[in-house]
Amino acid sequence: IIEIGTPERSVITTCAYCGVGCSFKAEMRGDELVRMVPYKHGKANRGHSCVKGRFAYGYASHKDRILNPMIRDSINDPWQEVSWDEAMDFTAKRMKGIIEQHGRHSVGVITSSRCTNEEAYLVQKLTRAVFMNNNTDTCARVCHSPTGYGLGQTLGTSAGTQDFDSVEETDVVIVIGANPVSGHPVFASRLKKRLRKGAKLIVIDPRRTEMVESPHIKAEHHLALTPGTNVAIVTALAHVIVTEGLFDAQFIQDRCDWDEFQDYAEFVSQPQNSPESVALLTGVPAAEVRAAARLYAKGGNGSIYYGLGVTEHSQGSTTVIGIANLAMMTGNVGRPGVGVNPLRGQNNVQGSCDMGSFPHELPGYRHVKGEGVRDIFEKAWGVKIDEEPGLRIPNMLDAAVEGTFKGLYCQGEDILQSDPDTKHVAAGLAAMDCVIVHDLFLNETANYAHVFLPGSTFLEKDGTFTNAERRINMVRKVMAPRNGYADWEITQMLANAMGAKWSYTHPTQIMDEIAMTTPSFAGVSYEKIETMGSIQWPCNEKAPEGTPLMHVDGFVRGKGKFINTEYVATDEKTGPRFPLLLTTGRILSQYNVGAQTRRTGNVAWHSEDLLEIHPHDAEVRGVKEGDFVRLASRSGDTTLRATITDKVNPGVVYTTFHHPDTQANVITTDFSDWATNCPEYKVTAVQVSPSNGP
């Protein structure tokens, strides 16, 4: 029995964990948050929640939170607590000094997918209007940047095409490279409800996840492919649909470029793309692929949901393109119950991408070189905007090691723990003259920081988050910021210390500026969100009430574009020294690198990361259940406990990455997606051997 006391008031706000975007009533007694109650009118969750949103908010009052700014001359010096004014003076002086000495391209920012839309907008504005370059990137670089590229190229915009509600009208679901039961639990419940009512499920995943088989659901087909072969499987599905004449010719003729489709059809029809030809490579029997393709093409309304098991590969963008090809060729876009849906991992990864956090795009996914695009912002901001795209995160780190990139403002992301090739990240950070970490806790990246700006939690500010179905939800201040300021105020202080004259007094003014500069948000205002409860973008003159389903009358880009998806093997190869393939994922009770969930008293739910290994691979290595094992790759090694399971096939091992001790990114490689540099986290050649412990 938990004593919670009697709440005195409640505030409706939005969960700050995953991209489902559940609404909650935060129940308060005085300044104390006593309970989070799922809000029954929340459009994404309809009164449901998972353990994270409901119980894992204690990090906001955790003793580890840093509440005062800190500075130091060198990373070898101890931290010195200072006032906000002193912190801003110190930071502005350093950053201005770097710009004077090394030029305006020597500094940049990393925005956060945890912060609000308004905060993401201000951080990229700081880069473009104050630092005067486009060196802005986001943690989406390491998760869904291939979605931006792949859906942008094929459909015209980087977003899920259907709303969560329309899963009720789906007949066949493909879940590829995602485990919504762990990563997007409330959406998984809605999906399972539909499956229990008769919809059919195809799971494409190296691991037998809870989606494949759990109480009350069983997938029709589980294509348990070898990690790294997504493109071969997706192309083989297309091969079957084309060669067996299962495509929707009318839809393609009406909505896509028919000539491009014919080129694509010729490409996928080649014998080397047949399920039989790729069976050895993918490890999936050809008959399973053929049956899955027939079910998706002919089973009624088809929806595809995908996650980081698609994007975090050297061919992540190619697989996203392949998924869009499948949907277009079967006519499964633009009406209820059908579509292509990236399951966004973080609460506001959709929003941070929408807000122009990428170095080549201004808000609303408009290229910095696009005709007339810079004019809009130059007029609104009264500055000249750099016409060259800026640096991506890995390019910033490379340039730092080379000595040309010297200053970084890193908001709400622990790049030392979450980005690949930890040694290289550390070398890049160590080479900079000014690293500003803006966060709740002294994270691993802060070891290399000169300035620490304490951040505010989602409970301590107003703003909006945008979920995986493009739904803009209100975030409402539940309590005063323990650190003194909301994150948008801190970014504004930094901009003004650098010479800007920003004067926002509330995030509603920032949203009004977003609406003024960004066509897909032109009709969005706090007033309208308050009236409607939430709004799905695009929301403008054409769609004043927002847009639950995209691409209804035509694709955003005009004609849907088919692009060939040539399979290219990753450079990460197994061999005698590293014969197994490691892939990674999440667990329900933890979140990303665990900065919040590990500080909520829930460690009993999942106190360490475990390595899943098949019984055969364990036996030949003399590994027993619960043994410590050494996990080694060409990049490095770590030690963790093994659990023996047939959820993974022989030759494949799997772990989560929530605990810093695991050091999963010491193991991962520096290979990345060809189009976007999204790291190839999901394929690493490894060896597993017995160990006495860390």
Binding-site ranges for ligand SF4 (CB under 6 A)? 15, 17-18, 20-22, 45, 49-50, 52-53, 184-186
Residue with the closest Cβ to ligand SF4?
Answer: 53
How many helices (DSSP H) and strands (DSSP E) are in the chain?
23, 28
Q: Which is nearer to ligand SF4, 217 or 289 (CB)?
A: 217
CB-CB contact of 131 with 160 (8 Å): no
Q: Whole-angstrom Cα distance, residue 239 to residue 277?
A: 11
Q: Long-range contacts of range 147-150, CB-CB < 8 Å, 24 or more positions apart? A: 147/311, 147/320, 147/342, 148/353, 148/358, 148/365, 148/676, 149/317, 149/320, 149/675, 149/676, 150/316, 150/317, 150/318, 150/319, 150/320, 150/321, 150/323, 150/324, 150/675
Q: How far is the CB of 346 from ligand SF4 (least distance, A)?
A: 10
Q: Whole-angstrom Cα distance, residue 648 to residue 657?
A: 17
Q: What's the number of CA atoms in the CB half-sphere (13 Å) around residue 2? A: 4
Task: Please choose, from the candidates 661, 659, 666, 665, the residue with its C-alpha nearest in 3D space to the C-alpha of residue 636.
Answer: 666
Q: How far is the CB of 589 from ligand SF4 (least distance, A)?
A: 10
Q: Which is nearer to ligand SF4, 184 or 360 (CB)?
A: 184
- Phi then psi for 588, rounded to 5 degrees? -55, -45
Q: Which is nearer to ligand SF4, 353 or 631 (CB)?
A: 353
Distance of CA 514 to the CA centre of its chain: 22
| Eight-state DSSP code of residue 212 | T
Q: Which is nearer to ligand SF4, 313 or 344 (CB)?
A: 344
Q: How far is the CB of 590 from ligand SF4 (least distance, A)?
A: 11
Q: Which is nearer to ligand SF4, 50 or 644 (CB)?
A: 50
Q: Which is nearer to ligand SF4, 45 or 113 (CB)?
A: 45
Q: Whole-angstrom Cα distance, residue 614 to residue 629?
A: 14
Q: Give me 247's structure tokens.
A: 């495509």
Q: Which is nearer to ligand SF4, 20 or 522 (CB)?
A: 20
Q: How far is the CB of 73 from ligand SF4 (least distance, A)?
A: 40
Q: How far is the CB of 646 from ligand SF4 (least distance, A)?
A: 28
Q: How far is the CB of 383 from ligand SF4 (least distance, A)?
A: 37
Q: How far is the CB of 23 from ligand SF4 (least distance, A)?
A: 9
Helical segments of 355-413, H only = 373-381, 393-402
* Greatest CA separation for the chain: 70
Task: Please choose, from the candidates 584, 580, 578, the residue with its C-alpha nearest in 3D space to the C-alpha of residue 679.
Answer: 584
Q: How far is the CB of 45 from ligand SF4 (least distance, A)?
A: 6
Q: Give me 8's structure tokens.
A: 């005195």
Q: How far is the CB of 15 from ligand SF4 (least distance, A)?
A: 3
Q: How far is the CB of 26 from ligand SF4 (least distance, A)?
A: 13
| Eight-state DSSP code of residue 11 | E
Q: Whole-angstrom Cα distance, residue 620 to residue 124?
A: 52
Q: Which helix (H) or strand (E) holds 353?
A: helix 349-354
Q: Which is nearer to ligand SF4, 37 or 82 (CB)?
A: 37
Q: How far is the CB of 591 from ligand SF4 (least distance, A)?
A: 7
Q: How far is the CB of 566 from ligand SF4 (least distance, A)?
A: 36
Q: How far is the CB of 211 from ligand SF4 (least distance, A)?
A: 15
Q: How far is the CB of 69 from ligand SF4 (least distance, A)?
A: 30
Q: Which is nearer to ligand SF4, 22 or 683 (CB)?
A: 22
How do beta strands 610-613 and 580-585 pair? unpaired
Characterise 651 by phi-psi region: left (phi > 0), alpha (psi -120 to 50), beta (else). Answer: left
At a CB cut-off of 8 Å and minimum separation 6, what does 366 contact?
Answer: 373
Q: Whole-angstrom Cα distance, residue 178 to residue 211?
A: 9
Q: What is the 3-state secondary structure (H, E, C) of 468-492?
A: CCCEEEEECCCCCCCCCCCHHHHHH
Q: Give me 392's structure tokens.
A: 């991506």
Q: Which is nearer to ligand SF4, 54 or 102 (CB)?
A: 54
Q: Which is nearer to ligand SF4, 184 or 221 (CB)?
A: 184
**Alpha-carbon dihedral sign for residues 134, 401, 433, 116:** positive
Q: Which is nearer to ligand SF4, 54 or 630 (CB)?
A: 54
Q: How far is the CB of 606 from ligand SF4 (least distance, A)?
A: 14
Q: Which is nearer to ligand SF4, 227 or 594 (CB)?
A: 594
Q: How far is the CB of 600 from ligand SF4 (least distance, A)?
A: 12
Q: Which is nearer to ligand SF4, 185 or 594 (CB)?
A: 185
How do beta strands 136-138 and 221-223 pair? unpaired
Q: Whole-angstrom Cα distance, residue 490 to residue 664?
A: 32
CB-CB contact of 488 with 116 (8 Å): yes
Q: Which is nearer to ligand SF4, 25 or 125 (CB)?
A: 25
Task: Please choose, from the candidates 307, 289, 299, 309, the residue with its C-alpha nearest in 3D space to the C-alpha of residue 346.
Answer: 307
Q: Which is nearer to ligand SF4, 346 or 422 (CB)?
A: 346
